[in-house]
Structure 1
Amino acid sequence: MPTLRTTPVSGVSFLIVAGVLWGTGGLLGSLFGAAAGLSPLAVATYRLGVGGLLIVGYLLVNGSVLPRGGAAWRRIAATGLLAALFQVSYFTAVSLTSVSLATLVTIGSSPVLVLLVRRRHAGRRQLGAVAPALLGLALLVGLPADGPAAPGAGALLAGSAFALLAAAGFSVMTLLAARPVPGLDAATTTGLGFTIGGAVLLPVAAATAGVGFAVDARSIALLVALALVPTAVAYTCYFRGLRSASAGVGVLMALLEPLTAAVLAALLLGERLGVAGVAGGLLLGVALVPAARSA
């Protein structure tokens, strides 16, 4: 596959595209899960595995050769394992707490973790964007309501721990991607890595919730859309963008995912954000502007 030269500006553009495309994942994943009767973990397994295979098929058709060298394969394997860790940890956190809390802790912790590791290299605009962006995220996704269905203290603690583990997996994957391996491009990393990740998750999903479903045109179309748009294309753009933009900018642009998801839910599903949600979305969007310009 031809290598495209990226600059800091084009790198940020790739990261923005990735964040926006990730925002379609929740909607497509829920539609596919409902159509196929699958659990969230099974949906994540298909998302990774099929998304990786789509890229591998594309690479084979275009005559790409397998990467050579131990460094390239170690990076591919690490990417696959970290992607699997992220998925299983996140959905475990959701099962123990709620979507809103798992999203808040996972996505909100990632910029903090990366910027702590890269604090000597983080610019003022990146550091200054963290607090308002996280406040906007909290207002946008909200917090789980109290009541009989609220998780107990033990479930809350365990769920938060799994959400932090998911954030750590995504953060390490980001930090690795910001240090490219010579001769290994973003598409190959995503394709082979996610195929490995899907294979790792498959026995876990099969042993817990099951992965079988009745195949029909609707479920297959939704699976292809889920595997292609917020997975194959989005992660390839993300890894490519990190070749020239910093890891700190990368995890901040990932905050576009819940913002895009909220906008799509309001436009397509008729969900109301409320005053706090609208204010949070605006604050989050505004906070990311100086971070994007800092690259």
Structure 2
Amino acid sequence: MNNIKNTFSIKDLENLSGIKAHTIRIWEKRYNVLEPMRTDTNIRYYDLSCLQKLLNITLLHEYGYKISKISKMPVEKIPLLVREIVSSKSAKNHAISAFKMAMMNFDQTLFFKTYNDLLSEKTFKEIFFDVVVPLMNEIGFLWQTDTITPAHEHFISYLIKQKLLINTEKIQVLEPTKHDKLFVLYLPMNEIHELGLMYLNYEIISSGYKTIYLGESVPTESLKDLKKYFTDIVYVCYMTVEPEKADVNNYVKQLQNDILDDTSELWLIGRMTEYLDQKNPLGKVKTFSSIEQLVDNV
């Protein structure tokens, strides 16, 4: 029961590898690099071994190896050559591919091995920006195109969340060194995409500030409660899919009326900020297009 079987369409392979389906078909026909299975109606489908091979071929191709040369290599040589390239050049693309394979096969052992290999060369911050952010962007696309299931997304997100919690705990024991602001981090109601907010919490604590992390699906009333205890609050709200497009402006207006005063600010980040009406003055509200930009303003 531990042998997880997954099959993929050629469109899935395109989404996972970044190689166009048309190109994959040419590589199959001309160079025989993949051996698809076929349904009773003669439609191609692929297993995990095909996906792994294609991801390896993609990396070699990105580093200048011609597909005609790759196709003549013994099957066992391709992963060995990939490892040589990774050790001598950049581990980023290989790590993203390995994390994808871990996700597709629900393989936490592969996840931890890949992460630990990265940690031997990079800091946690470098891993997050160089690998995790691009990975999560890809996973969002894969989920939207039905290439992966919600179970895949939850599996890989939980493992990343573990690493965020471990690294945050290490620095939470330190006394804050800056006291001009207090950061309150939260997600709006029905928003559950927490990884970006968790990383912002890590960065803000690292900068020397005290944070209050409220997490996902926080009602406005809970934010109002904090005003009884603190001043100089910066509320940080991460809006990935909530509030919905039609409700974003009303939600921000409600926050302006209910929680903002002369000593507080509201910082907004996430995809839904694109739908804010820029014609209306936002007052003590700032919007950020990326995690890096927000961190630079801390």
Q: TM-score, structure 1 length as denominator?
A: 0.27
Bigger RCO of structures 1 and 2 (CA < 8 A, at least 6 apart) = 1
Higher-helix-fraction structure = 1
The two structures have a TM-score, normalised by structure 2, of 0.27
